[in-house]
Each structure stands twice: as C-alpha cells, then as structure tokens.
Structure 1
Amino acid sequence: MTVIRANGIEIDYEDHGPADGPAVLLVMGLGAQLVRWPMAMVDGLVAHGYRVIRFDNRDVGLSTKFDHAGVPGIVWTAIQKRCGLTPVVPYTLTDMAQDAVGLLDALSIPRAHVVGASMGGMIAQLMAARWPDRVETLTSIMSTTGRADCSRPTMRTTALLLRHPRSDDVEAIVAHGTMAGRAVGGRFPMEDAFMAERIRSETLRNRCPTGFLRQMAAIIADGDRTERLRRITAPTLVIHGSDDPLVPVAGGRETARAIPGARLLEIEGMGHTLPPQVIPQIVDAIAAHARALPPVARAA
C-alpha cells in the first residue's frame, strides 16, 4: 500500500497488475475502505491483463480525515435538500470525484476504466459526467441516480445503516457489521465467520464513524444526478442485484435509462454486497465491457 498526495489530500492506494496494462480504477462506497473490494475481483481483472488500482476515499481508511470539519446533522441536511435549499456540507461528491481524478493525475494515468460500487458508483458517474476525457469506460455497480423516489432502501435497512455501535469495542463492531451484512446480502449471504474476519481486519486497519456521516451528507447534498448523467459519453455498464434492499434494483434501472447507450446487467439474487459467488460474473462483465468499447447511442 502507498500514500500519494492528490487534490490537496493524502490518498492511500494499492496498485496491482502490469504497469503498462489498461488501468481500472475501483471506487468504493459509503464508509468502506479499499480492502472491501474482494481480492478475487482484483486478481480476476489482473488476469485479464488490467492494471487495477483501489484506494481509500477521503475520510475513510488511511486517507486524509476531515474531523476538523465537524459532524453534519444528517436529518437537517436531508430537510434542507428536500426544501430546495443547498445544504452546507464539509465536502461534496464532486470533491470526492476530483480526488479520484487527482489520483489518476498523480499516477500519470490519462484515462481509466472506472468502476464504482454504491456511493463509489455515484462518484464514478460524476467523474464520467464532469471529466469525460479521463473515463475510458464506466461501470456503475449497485448505485443510483440520486432521484429520491426511484430507489428507497427498506426501513429496516436504513435503521441498520444508521445504528452504529456507540463503543469502540472491536467485537461489538464486528457483531453489528455481521448482522448488517446478513441483512443486505440478498440470496448470496456470506458466511458469518468470513464477514466477521473481514470486518475485524477493516476495523483494526482504521475506523472513522464521523467520516461515514460526512460522506452520507455529501450523498444527500448531491441530490438527483439524472440531468448530469445524460451528458455521459463513456460506454457504460450498469450492474445491479435483483435483491438489493439498500439500493433497490429500480435505482440501477433508472441509472441505465439516464445514461445514453448504457447496458444493464441484473444479477439474480444479488444484494448490496460483492459475494464470492458473483465475482467471476462481474469480473468477466467488466473485462468484456472494457474491451468492447461499444458506441454510445444518441437520442434523435
């Protein structure tokens, strides 16, 4: 793992595969560290000849934290947005997209195949919309347009997302994370022991619950990206699970409708995780998409 300075912050990243291979940039989701990208997925893309880069977003993992910015009120941020006001948040999703572009700059990568999951999909979408010359292809996984009525999580899932353990006890954090993972896993639930070990290693690597809240505020403040998505010219693949309770499949379908020429791959039974059972299918789909570079359909 290496730390690099980009866009005024320090970004922790890993670089796998051939240095001269086409670059794949993996952008992770809300509160999740780079290690949440399964190594089976990284290794699978490397086996296809790609140079794979995964990194910690700001406010998570080993990248720069924004504790000095305070903790935004999530409910108040949501109320402001719903009332048509512009919430004041520590940073925006566009700032996070600029971090990713800055990482590409620092690594002297002119263009990359950008793959984002959940919030990472939102960041990847903004990269493609605002920096089209930097995105060779876009893959948006289990993400959405941000339109409030197209992809609401279930109330149980929302409660689990917001109910973080109050203590810093590692085993309490592991127990809560395992329960939450089971709730969003769809029909491919990971084994509790596997999830527990993953959450324990992530917690010991770094834990920043206030960063989670600042990232959530950035998601709320960004709002509906539909019109911005219509400007995307990069060939786009949208991947979504049929059983996702956190970002229901309607969000993926809406994303594919909004982006010109986008293709939609729905994976039956997949929830809001990247379980081992679906990794080969996702790897093959991304590799085929990156190789094909299909033309973008334009509306008449």
Structure 2
Amino acid sequence: MPIVNLDSLSLWYQLTPGARPAAEPALLIQGLGMQATDWPAALVAGLAAERPVLVFDNRDSGLSQLFGRASVETLTMEDFPGAAPLCGPVAYGLSDMAADAWRLADALGLARVHLVGFSMGGMIAQVMAAMRPERTASLAGLMTSAGQPWIESAPEADAMMRRSILHEGKRGRLIDFMLAAEAVYAGPVPLPAEGTRRGAIRQALVRGHHPAGIWRQARAMRDAGERRGMLAGIAAPTLLLHGAEDPVIALSQAAEIKHILPGAAFIELARTGHILTEGNAGEIGARIGDFWRRATV
C-alpha cells in the first residue's frame, strides 16, 4: 500500500509515471470528502500522456490519516459551515492541507509540479501556489472559487453538502443519499447507469467514508476566509475551468478570476455541473493539456 509517513502525518498516494516520466509531474488535489480514486481514470490517463501524475488522499479522506473520529452521531446539518463566521476552533486549516501536499512532494523528491485541483482541491492548490511560487510550474483549478470567503451554492446542493456530514448507520440509505447528491452536483452532465454508480459508491465506502472528516475539511475551507488578495499575487500560469451550470460553486465566483488575476485563463464549460466523470474527462484533460503546452513554451 503506497503510504508515506511524514512525521505526524500519513498520506496515501499513487504516482503514474506516464509517457514522459522525465517531465515535471502533475499533482492532483481532490475536493471536499473525495478520495484519490474518485479521479476519472480517463482524466488521469489523458494527463499521464503529458507527464507523470500524482494523486493522493487528503488528510481526513480515504486511506490517509484521520484527524478525529470518522463519524460523529451528534453532528447536524446546521453544523456544516456557511457564510457566518465559524464558532469554536478548527482541527486544521486549508494552509495545513496545502502544506501536506508540499510535504508529500518533498518526500517523493519532486522539485516543481503542475498543480491541478478540483473544488476544495482547487482552493488548496491556490494556497500551495502562493506558498511556494518557485515550485509551482502551473496552476489549474477545476470547478473552484476565486478566493471568496465562502462558496455560493444552489439550495439543493447546499442541503446535500450539509447532509454529507451526518452519521448514517444503514449502508443502503447512505448509498441512496450519495446517488441523489451526485445527481444534484452533476446538473446536466450525463451520469452512468445507476447500477454502475451504486457499485462505485460501494467500493468508495469500503475504502473509506468519514463524514466527520468532511465536516472538519469544510470548516478548514470556511476558516481560510478572504483569499482574493493572495490570488492576485500568484505568478504561475493559471487556468480555471468551470461548469456553466455548477450548483455547488457559482459560476460568477469562479469568473471573478478574470479581474483578480487578469493573466489567468478562464474557460466556461457548457452544460456542465460540479462533477468529473469518464464522460467529460476527455474535454477537461484536453483543455489542461493545451494549457500546459502554452505554459511551458
């Protein structure tokens, strides 16, 4: 099992050498509560045609180290953060999650990387780029925000995120909820057959499901606060790809990157919600590949 132990932290990771193993690698950072195995295989394969691809489980996700209990029965939907300031201390911050990824790169001897982050992972990637500009070859954010203190979500998506932190002791009900949440997040994006999706969710639950970890990660996101000034100082070539019908992070929030960082590329994906699938992986991978080739000329 590819686990790296970093003093007080252990992270699960997988490195795909790709077609050009000597090229600067891509470091992929996942979103809220998601696992490294949630990256579409077609996207990883497409990116690996350009350079090595490193994926990993964030702290409190998948097979990486937990920073508290996996599930807390007393959590309610109201405990999920929102626009209001947080109450009480956080277990860790977004900057800690960014430092985790740099420590992983250190452990694997990766001097410079191309950062690719989805949703919360895009926010982590932005902090990473600001933290270590000399090691950031480029920055690509997928369905992420542009440094606002909190995300603007459609009511249905907000409700699903709030439910995701709840303890659910019955596996069948949990799978039904995750199917429904996936459909809401996807928006108009076609999804695989329900049987295929149920099988994938069962595998993910066996590998690691930590609703209280989702809660701690969400609090880290909210605790990060206003970051638009930080984004304005990022020097690395930057790309944001965002779904035109994203119900989790408003399109207007992502599009603000055009004013915050005028040199950044912003691409709006038609008929796309807040999801990465085998179906849209080809277009997204091609967009990232084109961006990399322009960034490294």
TM norm structure 2: 0.90
Instruction: Give, as a single letter, the amino acid of the residue that structure 1 aligns with 2:182.
Output: G
Structure 1 residue 170: deviation in Å?
2.5
In 1, Cα distance between equivalents of 2:23 and 2:147: 33
Name the residue aligned to 1:281. 283
Name the residue aligned to 1:298. none
What secondary structure sits across from 1:67 in the alignment?
Answer: coil
Structure 1 residue 277: deviation in Å?
2.6
What secondary structure sits across from 2:180 in the alignment?
Answer: helix
Structure 1 residue 287: deviation in Å?
1.3
Name the residue aligned to 1:61. 62
> Greater relative contact order (Cα 8 A, min sep 6): structure 1 or 2?
2
Name the residue aligned to 1:200. 202
Structure 1 residue 280: deviation in Å?
1.1
Name the residue aligned to 1:97. 98
Superposition pairs for residues 100-249 of structure 1, below 5 Å? 100-148=101-149, 151-164=151-164, 166-191=167-192, 192-249=194-251
Kindly indicate whether the alpha-carbon contact (under 8 Å) linking 1:24 and 1:113 is maintained by their aligned counterparts in 2. Answer: yes
Kindly indicate whether the alpha-carbon contact (under 8 Å) linking 1:69 and 1:90 is maintained by their aligned counterparts in 2. Answer: no
Kindly indicate whether the alpha-carbon contact (under 8 Å) linking 2:239 and 2:291 is maintained by their aligned counterparts in 1. Answer: yes
In 1, Cα distance between equivalents of 2:6 and 2:258: 31
Sort the Cα spacing of 1:226 and 1:74 in 2 relative to 1 into closer, same or farther, 3 A. farther
Instruction: Give, as a single letter, the amino acid of the residue that structure 2 aligns with 1:64.
Output: Q
Sort the Cα spacing of 1:69 and 1:197 in 2 relative to 1 into closer, same or farther, 3 A. closer
Sort the Cα spacing of 1:76 and 1:200 in 2 relative to 1 into closer, same or farther, 3 A. closer
Stretch of structure 1 that moved more, 254-263 or 151-160:
254-263
> Where in structure 2 are there 5+ consecutive unaligned residues?
none
Instruction: Give, as a single letter, the amino acid of the residue that structure 2 aligns with 1:223.
Output: G
Name the residue aligned to 1:13. 13
Kindly indicate whether the alpha-carbon contact (under 8 Å) linking 1:145 and 1:224 is maintained by their aligned counterparts in 2. Answer: no
Structure 1 residue 231: deviation in Å?
0.9
What secondary structure sits across from 2:123 in the alignment?
Answer: helix
Which deviations, in whole Å up to 9, do the C-alpha atoms of 1:234-292 show, x marking residues without a partner? Answer: 00000000010011211210234323410001110110101223211111111121121
Stretch of structure 1 that moved more, 5-14 or 243-252:
5-14
In 2, Cα distance between equivalents of 1:179 and 1:69: 22
What secondary structure sits across from 1:266 in the alignment?
Answer: strand
In 2, Cα distance between equivalents of 1:64 and 1:36: 18
Which deviations, in whole Å up to 9, do the C-alpha atoms of 1:28-51 show, x marking residues without a partner? Answer: 000001011111111111123x10
Kindly indicate whether the alpha-carbon contact (under 8 Å) linking 1:74 and 1:216 is maintained by their aligned counterparts in 2. Answer: no
Instruction: Give, as a single letter, the amino acid of the residue that structure 1 aligns with 2:89.
Output: V
Stretch of structure 1 that moved more, 85-94 or 173-182:
85-94
In 2, Cα distance between equivalents of 1:63 and 1:87: 25
Stretch of structure 1 that moved more, 224-233 or 15-24:
15-24
Stretch of structure 1 that moved more, 277-286 or 95-104:
277-286
- Two-structure CA RMSD over aligned residues (Å): 2.4
Which deviations, in whole Å up to 9, do the C-alpha atoms of 1:65-109 show, x marking residues without a partner? Answer: 011799799857958x845x8952000000000000001100100
Stretch of structure 1 that moved more, 2-11 or 116-125:
2-11
> Where in structure 1 are there 5+ consecutive unaligned residues?
296-300
Kindly indicate whether the alpha-carbon contact (under 8 Å) linking 2:69 and 2:212 is maintained by their aligned counterparts in 1. Answer: no
Stretch of structure 1 that moved more, 22-31 or 247-256:
247-256
Off by >4 Å, runs of 4+ in structure 1: 68-79
Which deviations, in whole Å up to 9, do the C-alpha atoms of 1:184-205 show, x marking residues without a partner? Answer: 1121131222322221111011
What secondary structure sits across from 1:127 in the alignment?
Answer: helix
In 1, Cα distance between equivalents of 2:221 and 2:249: 13
In 1, Cα distance between equivalents of 2:120 and 2:60: 13
Sort the Cα spacing of 1:78 and 1:31 in 2 relative to 1 into closer, same or farther, 3 A. closer
In 2, Cα distance between equivalents of 1:7 and 1:225: 29
In 2, Cα distance between equivalents of 1:105 and 1:160: 36
